[in-house]
Amino acid sequence: MISNREGREWLLKQLYDKGIKYIVYLGDIFGYIGVEKKPEQQEDGSTLLRDEYHRLDAVSDLLPDFNEPNYLDISKYLGITDWSKVATDTPVYAKLYDGGIWYPLHFAKYENGDAYVYTGGRTSWSKDVKDAVCNTVAKAYEIRLAEGGAP
């Protein structure tokens, strides 16, 4: 038997894979809805949606508490990172090979589905400009943002 948390994660992963990235509660008008684009909070406290939406009322009692003021960021809840949007030099923890240890490093780039990190304590500022890739950037076997603390 799976736990409630595992069940929620499974459900959210299915929604995420279908393109639903955020869940919003819009009170009496719609109830729970799923959208792809991040909702915008207006100055008056209302929520503006710039996207098609999907009704989620049938599963609303299975959803976790929101992790943002008035919506659930599914990727944040599941720990999914879109590495193509991560800035160079962002602090990360990375393993460089299977079974390796976690190293505190800096993110270098995302290319062809792979994340790369600067090695040897380097960053984009401190790397050798003449030979920017050789021995300064390595493909990460496993990688996490450092903002959540050490793995």
Query: The whole model's pTM is what?
Result: 0.57
What are φ and ψ of residue 84, in 5° steps?
A: -70, -15
Query: Where does residue 121 fall: left (phi above 0), alpha (psi -120 to 50 degrees), or beta otherwise?
Result: left
Which neighbouring-strand residues pair with 142? 95
Q: Using one digit for the tens of pLDDT, what is the confidence trace for 42-91? A: 888 777 777 787 777 667 777 888 877 778 888 888 888 888 989 999 99
In three-state secondary structure terms, 116 is: strand
